Amino acid sequence: MSGHSHWAGIKHKKALVDAKRGKLWSKLAKAIIIAAKLGGGDPDANIRLRAAIDEAKAVSLPKENIARAIKRGTGELGGEQLDELVYEGYGPGGVAILAEAVTDNRNRTAPEIRKIFEVCGGKLGSTGCVAWNFEKKGLFIIPKGNLTEEVVMEIALDAGADDVAEIEDSFEITCNPSAYDSVSKALANAKIEPEESQLSLIPKDTAEINDIDTASKIIKLMELLDDHDDVQKVSSNFSIPDEIMNQIN
């Protein structure tokens, strides 16, 4: 299915039982620092910062941590120099993988990312090798509850969203980054609270994986990348049928 991140849904379900809050908080603070560094400390004027704050609030990152991260990004507080990098490569079955990272030592991070790709049967590629198949989108994951697809679609599309997809027990809303703020406000006005909201890289086309061994290796690679301290987000174009995914779980 074009325009849908299968990994976003898989990771979302895993996150519900993930107790690694300290590591997650650290990653989200870095995302806020970079967003404030690149676009300023006002979330109303900086969509990327607004999205990073929304994502941090969804996992209860304390307000003082958020404020401190913004000040570090704008230079009001000191701290180590952070660089934003994107690693591109191929996983088992030739699926495209992008790992967005923030690091204080790129000479350490690059070899570690390369090793993760290799031990899982993948290969780190050159800049631009898979990025062409992804586009930056606003992503909202809404629990179904008593909501209907028609209600969510009307609210989201009226606010400028591109699409609403029903994914198991959730609705997934995607929009252009420029519409992120209006969609976020429309959901808030309707008293709909996303379980996840972020700016994410969404694949233009997906590759279905029907072999359980290949699927298992892909998930392992994604999990190891996602667990790396410097990696902020991991995106891929794979799609694994539920019957195969259930066997992995």
pLDDT tens-place string over residues 124-145: 999 999 999 999 999 999 999 9
- Give the pLDDT band (50/70/90) at residue 2: very low
- Same domain, yes or no, for 17 and 38? yes
- Same domain, yes or no, for 125 and 232? yes
CATH number of residue 193's parent domain: 3.30.70.980
pTM score of the predicted model:
0.84
For residue 23, is it within any domain? yes
- Same domain, yes or no, for 111 and 158? no
- Same domain, yes or no, for 118 and 223? yes
Q: Looking at the predicted structure, is the pLDDT value of residue 240 above 80?
A: yes
- Same domain, yes or no, for 192 and 219? no
- Same domain, yes or no, for 91 and 186? no
- Same domain, yes or no, for 58 and 164? no
- Same domain, yes or no, for 92 and 189? no
Give the span between the Cα atoms of 48 and 52, in whole angstroms.
6
Between the CA of residue 194 and those of 61, 158, 166, 197, 246, what are the distances in Å? 16, 17, 14, 6, 25
Structural domain of 61? 6-74
Helix/strand/coil (H/E/C) assignment for every residue in 157-197: HHCCCCEEEEECCEEEEEECHHHHHHHHHHHHHCCCCCCEE
Question: How much is the pLDDT for 23?
Answer: 83
For residue 96, is it within any domain? yes
Percent of the chain whose predicted confidence (pLDDT) is above 90: 79
Sheet with 170-175, side-by-side order of all strands: 163-167, 170-175, 134-143, 196-203
- Give the pLDDT band (50/70/90) at residue 14: low
- Same domain, yes or no, for 213 and 128? yes
For residue 1, is it within any domain? no
Q: For 29-47, what is the mean pLDDT? A: 95
Q: Looking at the predicted structure, is the pLDDT value of residue 9 above 80?
A: no
Q: Looking at the predicted structure, is the pLDDT value of residue 208 above 60?
A: yes
pLDDT tens-place string over residues 182-204: 999 999 999 999 988 999 999 99
Question: How much is the pLDDT for 1?
Answer: 36
- Same domain, yes or no, for 93 and 116? yes
Question: How much is the pLDDT for 168?
Answer: 79
The count of domains in the chain is 3
Give the span between the Cα atoms of 209 and 225, in whole angstroms.
19
- Same domain, yes or no, for 194 and 97? no
